[in-house]
């Protein structure tokens, strides 16, 4: 039988809770990673494990984000000092009134 400590450590590593705070902080570098022009045409909605979820406000912004996704992820990971994100999920929806 495993000790409670071992079970908690295994759960902690499986859920990657240690990366949660780092991922939240890394999202602060979004505008720098994508550039000012593209940052005005999209917003980060959050993340799920190693995927950044982004909402593009128009098709051109979505296409640019898809094209530059590896470059953007590399810039965010470099800013964080470690590899936190592997994927960029882009949805296409217009901005809400308060985001304009």
Beta-strand ranges (E) seen in the chain are 42-48, 51-56, 87-92
Q: Where do the domains of the chain lie?
A: 19-99
The answer, yes or no, to whether residue 59 has pLDDT greater than 90, is: yes
At 13 the pLDDT is: 62
User: pLDDT tens, 1-47?
Assistant: 677 787 767 665 655 656 777 777 788 889 999 999 999 999 999 88
Rounded CA separation 42/53 (Å): 11
Cβ atoms of 55 and 46 closer than 8 Å: no
User: pLDDT tens, 29-38?
Assistant: 899 999 999 9
In CATH terms, the fold of domain 19-99 is GMP Synthetase; Chain A, domain 3 (3.30.300)
């Amino acid at each position: 039988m495993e000790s409670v400590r071992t079970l908690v450590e295994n759960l902690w590593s499986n859920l990657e809770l240690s990366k949660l705070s780092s991922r939240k902080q890394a999202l602060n570098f979004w505008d720098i990673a994508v550039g000012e022009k593209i940052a005005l045409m999209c917003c980060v909605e959050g993340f799920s494990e190693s995927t950044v979820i982004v909402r593009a406000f128009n098709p051109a912004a979505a296409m640019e984000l898809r094209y530059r996704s590896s470059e953007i992820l590399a810039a965010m990971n470099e800013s964080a000092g470690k590899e936190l994100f592997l994927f960029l999920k882009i949805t296409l929806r217009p901005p809400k009134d308060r985001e304009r």
